[in-house]
Amino acid sequence: MPGQIPWGTQCDAALFLHGDGFAPTLSGCSFGFDERYPVNKRLADLIWLRVREDPGHPPRRGDDGTADAHDYYGFGLVDTPGPETLIEHGFLTNPSEREWLFKHVDALAEAEYTAICRYFGVETHGQPPPLDVGSIVAT
């Protein structure tokens, strides 16, 4: 759902897609979520599992790096029993990272699609859905 999200939008899960911007030397992707609800971190970790398979991906920085990421305003717009996760794909102000992100839009979309399917236990492209995200390490 692009653009303005009407308050109270009902959904099974909510992904909020963003790009960071600050300084041209900063790098890395991260996730924002309310850690009181483990489903949020689980979805973030499933996305990261898939993204890290793509060569040259931005490194994963610490999640919930700012209050804005942790308390992202979009979380209050949706009514969902499932995960709500903000994805900061990388720094658009970093020229090499921006170039990688723009060249890999389809791969990022595929990673997010695969993660959502795995989260809900839905088969993707003939592949079984289960993944154990309990031992994921940020790399």
Instruction: Check which CATH number belongs to the domain holding 35 and give it.
Output: 3.40.630.40
Beta carbons within 8 Å of 38's beta carbon, 6+ residues apart: none
Domain assignment present for 14:
no
What pLDDT sits at residue 5?
85
Domain assignment present for 57:
yes
Distance CA(76)–CA(97), nearest Å, equals 30
Tell me which residue range forms the domain holding 48. 21-119
What pLDDT sits at residue 135?
40
Domain assignment present for 87:
yes
Domain count, the chain: 1
What pLDDT sits at residue 131?
52
How do 78-79 and 9-10 pair as beta strands? parallel
List, for residues 20-79, the tens digit of each pLDDT value: 888 899 999 999 999 889 999 999 999 999 899 888 899 999 998 888 888 888 888 999
pTM here is: 0.83
Domain assignment present for 61:
yes
Contact 80, 14 (CB under 8 A): yes
State whether residue 19 is helix, strand or coil.
strand
Domain assignment present for 94:
yes
List, for residues 87-102, the tens digit of each pLDDT value: 999 999 999 999 999 9
Q: CA torsion sign, 9 to 14 to 19 to 21?
A: positive
Beta carbons within 8 Å of 54's beta carbon, 6+ residues apart: 104, 107, 108, 111
Domain assignment present for 39:
yes
Beta carbons within 8 Å of 136's beta carbon, 6+ residues apart: 45, 48, 49
Q: Which residue has the higher pLDDT, 100 or 133?
A: 100
Domain assignment present for 127:
no
Domain assignment present for 130:
no
